[in-house]
Structure 1
Amino acid sequence: MFLVDQIPIGKFSFMTRLSQKALRLYDRKGLLVPEAKDPFTGYRYYTVSQLERGMKIKTLSLLGFSLEEISRFLDAENKGDYEHIGACLRKKVEETQLEIGKLQRIEGILQGACNYNGTNGMIMELFKMSVTEPVIKELPEMRVISKREKGTFAVTIGRFIGEICACVTSPENQRNHMKVTGPIMFLCHDEEYKETDADIEVALPVTGRISIEDPQMEVKILPAVRAVSAVYRGPYSGVEAAYSRIFSFIEENNLELYSPSRELYLNDPAMVPEEELITEVQIQVRKNN
């Protein structure tokens, strides 16, 4: 069945300034389905009444809404659910304010780096801004809940953190008044970087009586050590900047490093944006003979 005001996809694309690729995607997603399709040629035909919906989709997309959010927004509009629409808009305002803050911080870093002469000086300043000066620390021994096995970093570390936190918050350990005494940490026992089959340990400092059901989990004492420490601020993917600063410090001060190194996660990625994540890197050292 063909409609009197049928508009071919090319003309509809021109009228709405939506690409034909985007229109086909909206069709597949059920977001903007042509009123008619030629059963023989497969040509799509829209109607004048669909122009308004097309323009709304374009506007919401430009405002940063995902296709799923746009779909829910338009459904709420059709139902007169203005409370949901208001909540969607307020959420987008909050997200936009966070993004503006992030961009302003990036602008400040870049502007500061531009004050340095020479490309290399600018690049090195960018790294310095995200990492504190390395210092030598005497780390006391600590009692921890620990789990260790071989695997890939992102998957294994995340899983271990979840399992250890679940153990700590179990009803029995809460009744035992077990206390967390420090940040959760990742210990790397390898002498070199490994994409897979890395020797990974995650540990959480605790006190009190502890009940553990996982046979691969244990309570142990991490020994007192001397370590070079630096604090890195930013996404976990850039933590190598801290290692680089520490390795340079170790070489300059005639120190010998040994395993395991430690990464202490000082805030929660679920609570802060990734550019505000804080990680302390500690590498054990001793004096060269």
Structure 2
Amino acid sequence: MNETRADLLTISAFARNTRLSQKALRLYDAMGLLIPVFVDPQSGYRYYHASQFEAAHLIGLLRQLEMPLNRIFEVLQASEDQRATLVRSYWREVEQDARQKKELVQYLSDYLEKKENHMFDIQTRTVPAAKIITIQQRVYASDLPAFIGEAFGRIMPHLEASDAPITAAPFVIYHGTVNQDSDGPVEVCVPFMGPVEPLEGMNIRIEPEHPEAFTTITKGQCVFPEILKAYDAVSLWLREQGRMCSMLSSREVYFANWDEAGPDDLVCDIAFPY
């Protein structure tokens, strides 16, 4: 400790000067955000220095933005010329989340007011039995896109290396609800033919022949919560036809190159076996 005891501020004095509560300061100490310059080994009292006012002020401002503490830690660890970039990046994420919530509110309003949606063309087909290689995992909504991409990224090269041709469009089966509280599970599936030795975490099984109702949507419509409208449309059509269906067997069939598709290009079927 370079400062003398006379240079130091007790936690209560530092709290008054920074307008941060003592409870918050103890939390920031535990998180490594704002560590006291000295802790009395006998009493456990925390002491701070005036040179820490700027860091305390910055933490207080970032908390006003409701920035999580782990993100604040990243800002504090960054160089001064990088900090503003990190704050702007965080706020872009907040704005994107707000836009998504606004769209979800509109979706919920339409749902609760029982407004009918006639924009989806519902069709039926019989899907033949197929041998599929799959990766199944429990995953929450925030991690779903990454899981799907990583699973396809493992399966496709393995099939190519095994000289096993893909026989139909890849698809994703939802065996359970996926949101912020429920984690599926979700199964990424690729139909193929020929002998393949599955890698760790992969499974090979036969998907039985079945009829299904489906609607085709664009890449732009695959975004949450817009995609929920397609699910609702297919399940409602099945109920009106007197058909039994379950969200737990719903699937997304990806028949186009996702990376090359534009927002208005048709890329996916939302399908329900019945």
Per the normalisation by structure 2, the TM-score is: 0.62
Amino acid across the alignment from 1:218: I
How far the C-alpha of 1:16 sits from its partner, in A, is: 0.9
SS in 1 for 2:91: helix
SS in 1 for 2:249: strand
Q: How large is the Cα RMSD of the aligned pairs?
A: 4.9
The equivalent residue for 2:85 is: 90
Amino acid across the alignment from 1:137: T
- Cα distance, 1:223–1:101 mapped onto 2, change above 3 Å: same
Structure 1 unaligned residues grouped into runs of 5+: 190-194, 272-277
The equivalent residue for 2:95 is: 100
Give the distance between the partners of 1:76 and 1:163, measured in 2 at CA.
33
Q: Is the CA contact (8 Å cut-off) linking 1:230 and 1:246 kept in structure 2? A: no
- Cα distance, 1:265–1:39 mapped onto 2, change above 3 Å: farther
Give the distance between the partners of 1:35 and 1:136, measured in 2 at CA.
69
The equivalent residue for 2:39 is: 37
Amino acid across the alignment from 1:45: Y
Per-residue deviation, residues 72-98 of structure 1 (Å, max 9, x unmatched):
443444xxxx5xx42x53344244224
- Cα distance, 1:246–1:29 mapped onto 2, change above 3 Å: same
- Cα distance, 1:257–1:184 mapped onto 2, change above 3 Å: closer
Structure 2 unaligned residues grouped into runs of 5+: 177-181, 260-266
Give the distance between the partners of 2:47 and 2:20, measured in 1 at CA.
15
Residues 94-173 of structure 1 aligned to structure 2 (within 5 Å): 94-107=89-102, 110=105, 120-121=112-113, 124-125=114-115, 133=120, 135-141=122-128, 143-147=130-134, 154=139, 165-170=153-158, 173=160
Instruction: Please say if 1:249 is aligned against 2:243.
Output: no
Give the distance between the partners of 1:243 and 1:65, measured in 2 at CA.
34
- Sequence identity of aligned pairs in percent? 20
The equivalent residue for 1:11 is: 13
Q: Is the CA contact (8 Å cut-off) linking 1:261 and 1:284 kept in structure 2? A: yes
Instruction: Please say if 1:204 is aligned against 2:189.
Output: yes
SS in 1 for 2:88: helix
Aligned residue among 218, 224, 229 for 1:234: 224
Give the distance between the partners of 2:124 and 2:269, measured in 1 at CA.
12
SS in 2 for 1:4: helix
Per the normalisation by structure 1, the TM-score is: 0.60
